[in-house]
C-alpha cells in the first residue's frame, strides 16, 4: 500500500511539474538544502492556494502539508489531499490532534510543511510568523527548513477567483537546528523570518535581472 501511495504521489508530482514549468515557468533554488533523510519541518510563507503544491513540486522527498480543516469537508477533495499526505489542522485554535499527528510524522522521518503566517498574505510580503513550529521542531528533535514562495501572490491574489499566469520562484534556506539556537521561540522565529525575507529579496533581484 505504501509503495502504491508513493507511486501515486510521484506520478501527480511529475504532472504538476509539467504544468507549473509550462504555465508559470517555476524555478526552484536551494533544494539541496533539504536533508536527504530524517524528519524535517518546512516553514514557508503563504501567498496563494497553490502554495502546498508549489512547495513540494520541485523537491526530492514527499511533503506532508498541514492543511486547514475546512479543505477536508468535500469528501472527494479530502480523499485526494489525504492521498498526498496532507492532514488537517483547526486554524486559530490549539489543535492538539494536529500537533500529535505532526509530531508522529516528524519522528517517523517525514517532511512536514507548515505555513506559520496562518493565512494568505494580503500584499505579497512575508508576514509575522507564529512560534508554534519552534516548539514542534524541538519536541520532535528535527531541523526547520525555511522556504519562500514568490510570484504566487501575483498569480493568484486573495481577491481573484482564479489564478493567472505569472512566473513563480521557490527558494530554500539552510536547515536551522533550533536546539542549538536556544532562546525564546518568538526570537527563533524572528531570525527565521529575517532569513525568509532575505530569500524573497534575492528572488526579487533575480526576477528583475531576468526582465531586463
Cell numbers that stand for 89 in this block: 489542522
Question: How does the average pLDDT of the chain come out, rounded?
Answer: 94
pLDDT tens-digit readout, 139-191: 999 999 999 999 999 999 998 999 999 999 999 999 999 877 777 899 999 99
- The whole-number pLDDT of residue 38 equals 97
Query: Could you tell me which of 141, 197, 137 has the C-alpha nearest to residue 173?
Result: 197
Q: What CA–CA distances, in Å, run from 142 to 28, 81, 106, 146?
A: 23, 24, 7, 13
Alpha helices in 71-165 (DSSP H): 75-83, 96-107, 132-140, 152-155
Percent of the chain with pLDDT over 70: 99
pLDDT on residue 128:
95
What nine digits make up the cell of 45? 510563507
**pLDDT tens-digit map of 21-62:** 999 999 999 999 999 999 999 999 999 999 999 999 999 999
Residue 130 has pLDDT above 90, yes or no: yes
Q: What is the pLDDT of residue 94?
A: 76
* Cα–Cα distance measured from residue 77 to residue 8, given in angstroms and rounded to the nearest whole number: 15
Check whether 200 has a pLDDT greater than 70.
yes
Q: C-alpha grid cell for residue 25?
A: 515557468
pLDDT for res 1: 54
CATH class of the domain at 2-210: alpha beta
Amino acid at each position: 500500500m505504501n509503495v502504491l501511495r508513493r507511486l501515486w504521489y510521484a506520478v501527480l508530482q511529475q504532472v504538476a511539474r509539467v504544468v507549473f514549468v509550462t504555465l508559470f515557468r517555476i524555478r526552484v533554488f536551494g533544494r539541496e538544502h533539504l536533508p536527504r533523510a530524517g524528519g524535517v519541518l518546512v516553514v514557508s510563507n503563504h501567498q496563494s492556494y497553490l502554495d502546498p503544491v508549489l512547495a513540494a513540486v520541485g523537491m526530492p522527498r514527499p511533503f506532508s502539508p498541514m492543511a486547514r480543516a475546512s479543505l477536508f469537508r468535500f469528501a472527494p477533495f479530502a480523499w485526494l489531499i489525504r492521498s498526498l499526505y496532507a492532514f488537517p489542522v483547526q486554524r486559530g485554535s490549539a489543535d492538539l490532534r494536529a500537533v500529535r499527528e505532526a509530531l508522529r510524522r516528524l519522528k517517523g522521518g517525514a517532511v512536514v510543511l507548515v505555513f506559520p503566517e496562518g493565512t494568505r498574505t494580503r500584499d505579497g510580503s512575508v508576514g509575522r510568523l507564529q512560534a508554534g513550529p519552534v516548539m514542534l521542531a524541538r519536541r520532535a528533535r528535527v531541523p526547520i527548513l525555511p522556504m519562500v514562495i514568490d510570484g504566487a501572490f501575483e498569480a493568484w491574489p486573495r481577491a481573484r477567483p482564479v489564478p493567472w499566469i505569472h512566473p513563480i520562484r521557490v527558494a530554500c534556506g539552510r536547515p536551522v537546528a533550533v536546539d542549538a539556537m536556544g532562546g525564546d521561540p518568538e526570537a527563533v522565529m524572528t531570525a527565521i523570518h529575517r532569513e525568509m525575507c532575505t530569500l524573497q529579496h534575492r528572488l526579487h533581484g533575480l526576477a528583475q535581472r531576468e526582465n531586463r
